[in-house]
């Protein structure tokens, strides 16, 4: 569980650059629920 956030943050960093904030929050929510 503790190691997962690092991968999530890395993915979020890419999303922040590529996608708007709305998509970022949606991806974050879905990612947290899935993982």
- What pTM did the predictor assign? 0.35
Report how far residue 5's alpha carbon sits from residue 9's, in angstroms, rounded to the nearest whole number.
Answer: 6
Closest to 30 in 3D by CA, of 2, 4, 8 = 8
Both structure tokens of 9: 């943050």
For the chain, percent of residues with pLDDT exceeding 70: 37
Q: What is the pLDDT of residue 3?
A: 62
List Cβ<8 Å contacts ≥24 apart for 27-33: 32/8
Q: What pLDDT, in 10s, does the model give residues 12-26?
A: 777 677 656 666 677
Q: Is the pLDDT of residue 6 over 70?
A: yes
User: In sequence order, what are the residues at sequence separation of 6 or more whose Cβ sits closer than 8 angstroms to the Cβ of residue 11?
Assistant: 27, 31
Per the model's pLDDT, the better-predicted residue between 7 and 35 turns out to be: 7
């Amino acid at each position: 569980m503790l190691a997962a956030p690092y991968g999530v943050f890395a993915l979020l960093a890419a999303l922040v650059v590529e996608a708007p904030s709305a998509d970022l929050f949606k991806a974050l929510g879905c990612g947290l629920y899935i993982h």
